Chains A and B, each alone.
Chain A
Amino acid sequence: MSEWKKICLVNDIPVLGSRRVARAQGLDVAVFRNSEDQVFALLDRCPHKGGPLSQGIVFGTRVACPLHNWSIGLCDGQAAAPDEGCAPRFAVKVESGEVYLDAGELAAHATDLARPHAGPACKKTA
């Protein structure tokens, strides 16, 4: 059985917006809220060039990546055609106005993915 971990209230997430959830290892998890107060969770990383999806514009059940405007489905993490790619999904539970994520997933899901480097750091790694 999965163990649900309480993250925040639904109201802590702006309508048509999102919050980042930091974890012990791996990139943040982005939790999104749409106009119907549904909550979704994806790894905070666009499958295209690793942009932080939590910073994108939320519309319908999609988010537009802030870097190059890829449209990512909040339900399945899939990029809209003809773009191809998928952001890892995280299970979410909403109960009496509180948002829960799966503790196991938070600890271990998609912890291998990283953000691209920028600045002087990218020359060192290149």
Chain B
Amino acid sequence: MQKSKLVMVGNGMAGVRTLEELLKIAPDLYDITVFGAEPHPNYNRILLSPVLAGEQTLEEIVLNPWEWYSDNHITLYTGKKVVQVDRVKRIVYADDGTEAEYDRLLICTGSNPFILPVPGKELKGVIAYRDIADTNEMIETAKTHKNAVVIGGGLLGLEAANGLMLRGMSVTVIHVQPTLMERQLDSVAGKLLQKSLEERGLKFLMGAQTQELVGGGDADGQRVTAIKFKDGTEVATDLVVMAVGIRPNTQLAESMRLHCNKGIVVNDTMQTVTDARIYSVGECAAHRGIAYGLVAPLFEQAKVAANHLAQFGIGRYVGSLTSTKLKVTGIDLFSAGEFMGGEGTEEIIMSDPFGGVYKKLVIKDDKLVGACLYGDTVDGSYYFKLLRDGRSVADIRDKLMFGESNIGDVGHEGHSKAAAMPDNAEVCGCNGVTKGTICKAIKEKGLFTLDEVRKHTKASASCGSCTGLVEQLLMFTAGGDYSATPKLKAMCGCTDHGHQAVREAIRANKLLSIGDVYATLDWRTPNGCASCRPAVNYYVTSTWPKEAKDDPQSRAINERSHANIQKDGTYSVIPRMWGGETTANELRKIADAVDKYKIPTVKVTGGQRIDLLGVKKEDLVNVWKDIGMPSGHAYAKALRTVKTCVGSEWCRMGTQDSTQMGKDLERAMWRMYAPHKVKFAVSGCPRNCAEAGIKDVGIIGVDSGWEMYVAGNGGIKTEVAHFFTKLKTPEEVLEYTGAFCELYRQEGWYLERTVHYVNRVGLDYVKKKILDDHAGRKALWEQLQFALDGEPDPWFDFEEAAVDTRQFIPITAV
């Protein structure tokens, strides 16, 4: 069969990324032809500044070398500008007469620099800053001439100025606004930036309006010699770089009569609204009125366009929320959202001009709507997430300014500034990834997004506490802005729906099985993946207890074999010890089992239980039977331990019988599955020996009753539990604890601990549901008791717990 013909006009980052995505999923569908106006293969435009500054070479910023095109059988015409397209005959014409027919056309002409319409703009030495040719001209000029003027105090202008200064020129930056980078920074941060750049040797003329460029330089008298301002003053110069903005390059599209409005207008599938055979991605495309200029949105567009070109027809681009996180000459900047503030907004500001740190958070209606950080940007991604999630920050307002990194983050030696770290320093403590490894992977594999770095290096892929550091590394290794993310995060690659949408659909449509969910919500894969199936299984069973049927094949191995898999494929067994109390009889049975099954390690856990490690899968059933104690669910996303102190029964300080309270809680709520593991603790007095302050629910006995704390965590990030309420009786403790757990079970997203759930919905919301709504609280407690009533112990009631016992015994082939 004859292959279809795909022609791409414009050989830049967004377009080539589209081809890469296309070749990944449909390598043989098209004969591909590419036209590029520049005489180069695809290179990383964002890294022109490091080239100008002499930190990298042109060869180093090439993303797709010539061989890439030939290896993929792509016909590449460089240095040929497409000047005409016949949409009826479907032929593309270049300026030298080269023709190419197409079935599908991809227009990625990017953008053009805006040139101020002043007299003298055509003089020699007056250039824009957009491509390799401009960069080379600046490098050459710096060798022979002394003075330079950069018009424009935005990101690009400052980078050009910095580069020229490093190449030995005396540089003046002209900016029409009173402060620098006014679209990314507020005036305070802008002034801090100016001061810091002045200290490095740049000169600034703020509020200056250019009137004309004066010629007469060089032997032929054609070179620019000075720039004249409206107030009559002049500055002598040999080079003028205009960096006053870019405009989508729609010249070709307009000549083809494609509808253009602030760019080539495209729909959610990146097809032009005028002609469905023609796609457009990148800076030239206007999607829902926005032409994006940052890499991450362009790559999202590329993915969608490729998917449609491959005739899969799934996936839509729905726009991106972007943040700016820039690296200008060793200065960290971050801004996102409405950082300028405005009507109805409040601001929290921390300013340390001497230390060069400035942070501003803008809040509206209890939500974070903007952030502007200067000097210390490690919390940028944290603020960006809060912004995107749009959750109430009322309960964390007092801590908000100090960011996520100030409290108990572990695993990266307390580093918060990636630039200052040596190459051998560990960034990701979970997966042992050093700064050097990450930077190398970014450079060598051409990585652009956080997700790509996670996939390739595993850095920040486990606990995620080093995400901010990895983003900083991406920023100064790959350049530019990479933190833009889709507005809504999909559960996984199998669907576009997020966790919340899936939970709501299951409740609204009474979906009782994973298959129902996949069919109703148009899942892309027949039976999901290892990430969505366990989540959906949890959602149906927790939303419809006793009606939805649990699917063991959709549970991870620990919950399928009811033991914890170890690195050598053996398992660990942790029997339940109510409230951490045991007896001689239990210990004797455990000891006998250890001898009988030659269990190599016996360890006391942090949760006051006993762990038997290294049990062979074949022995699990017999070990459970011999010990005869209930399952401890130490392997499950379920209620695990209830840690207690000795309490008033023995302790001379104890005010309440914490051991009994703990046992009662455990007996009432064991076998309770949840979005993630759940741990309780009960202390008998405020000395809090059971460490109730870092548990999902912590109960602390006081003379007049019990204090209840929620959403603590002792893991990756030590989170102190919030005081929730004061209760009088053990019955109340059961009811309030149960209601809190049931709310979390019904609303939490899979793998979301209580701390993250409460952070997402806000503590005030949880208080309203549990403390203020008495009928609602009782209903939740009843729903939990209903769900748990008669639930089987999976170590003994195999059939009821749907334990497939065939798994324990291998088939023998001998």
Contacts and interface: CB of A to CB of B under 8 A. Distances in A.
5 cross-chain pairs, A with B, having the tightest CB-CB distances, nearest first: A64-B530, A118-B568, A20-B810, A55-B557, A66-B557
Contact of B565 (A55, A59, A64, A101): A55
A67 B814 contact: no
27 contacts: A7-B813, A12-B811, A16-B553, A17-B804, A17-B807, A19-B806, A19-B810, A20-B811, A24-B813, A28-B810, A29-B813, A51-B567, A55-B561, A55-B569, A57-B554, A59-B530, A66-B565, A69-B530, A82-B445, A82-B455, A82-B456, A115-B568, A116-B567, A116-B568, A117-B568, A118-B567, A120-B601
Interface in A4-46: 5, 7-8, 12, 14-17, 19-24, 28-29, 31, 34-35
A64 B530 CA distance: 6
Contacts of A59: 525, 527-530, 533
Give the most central of A5, A15, A17: most B CB within 10 Å.
A17
Given A7-B813, A23-B814, A57-B554, A49 B804 contact: no
Contact of B813 (A12, A21, A116): A21
A8 B807 CA distance: 14
B556 interface: yes
Nearest to A52: B569
A23 B812 CA distance: 6
A57 to B, nearest CB: 4
A106 interface: yes
B790 to A, nearest CB: 25
Give the most central of B529, B533, B534, B813: most A CB within 10 Å.
B813
B814 A22 contact: yes
A116 B566 CA distance: 10
Contacts of B567: 49, 51, 67, 116, 118
A35 B526 CA distance: 8
A23 B813 contact: yes
A119 B557 contact: no
A24 B813 CA distance: 8
A87 interface: no
A16 B557 contact: no
Contacts of A1: none
Contacts of A21: 810-813
A23 B525 CA distance: 34
A106 B810 CA distance: 14
Contacts of B554: 16, 57
B344 interface: no
Contacts of B7: none
B193 interface: no
Given A24-B814, A57-B533, A117-B568, A14 B806 contact: yes
A60 B533 CA distance: 12
B561 A35 contact: no
A7 B600 CA distance: 32
Nearest to A58: B553
Interface string B528-567: 1110011000000000000000000111110011000111
A121 interface: yes
A8 B812 CA distance: 10
A78 interface: no
Contacts of A106: 813
Interface in B451-473: 455-456
A90 to B, nearest CB: 10
B525 A19 contact: no
Nearest to B601: A119
A56 interface: yes
B478 to A, nearest CB: 16
Interface residues of B, number: 36
Contacts of B555: 57
Contact of B526 (A28, A60, A69): A60
B614 interface: yes
Interface of B: 445, 455-456, 525-530, 533-534, 553-557, 560-561, 565-570, 600-601, 613-614, 804, 806-807, 810-814
Nearest to A51: B569
Given A14-B553, A82-B456, A118 B566 contact: yes
Contacts of B560: 55
A56 B557 contact: yes
B262 to A, nearest CB: 37
Contact of B600 (A60, A115, A121): A121
B600 to A, nearest CB: 5
A67 B806 CA distance: 21
B813 to A, nearest CB: 5
Given A12-B811, A22-B811, A51-B565, 11 more contacts: A7-B813, A17-B804, A21-B813, A23-B813, A51-B569, A55-B560, A56-B530, A57-B557, A59-B525, A119-B570, A120-B600
A22 B813 contact: yes
Contact of A119 (B565, B600, B811, B812): B600
Nearest to A34: B527
Contacts of A49: 567
Nearest to A71: B530
Contacts of A22: 810-814
Give the most central of A51, A69, A118: most B CB within 10 Å.
A118
Give the most central of B529, B555, B569: most A CB within 10 Å.
B569
Contacts of A15: 553
B811 A7 contact: yes
Contact of A57 (B556, B561, B812, B813): B556
Contacts of A23: 813-814
A19 B807 CA distance: 6
A60 B568 contact: no
A67 B565 contact: yes
B20 to A, nearest CB: 13
A101 B813 contact: yes
Contacts of A121: 600
Nearest to A25: B814
Contacts of B810: 19-22, 28
B563 to A, nearest CB: 11
A29 B525 CA distance: 27
Contacts of B813: 5, 7, 21-24, 29, 101, 106
Nearest to A23: B813
B613 A60 contact: no
Given A14-B806, A57-B553, A121-B600, A64 B529 contact: yes
A98 B752 CA distance: 43
A82 to B, nearest CB: 5
Interface in A54-108: 55-60, 62, 64, 66-67, 69, 71, 82, 101, 106
B530 A119 contact: no
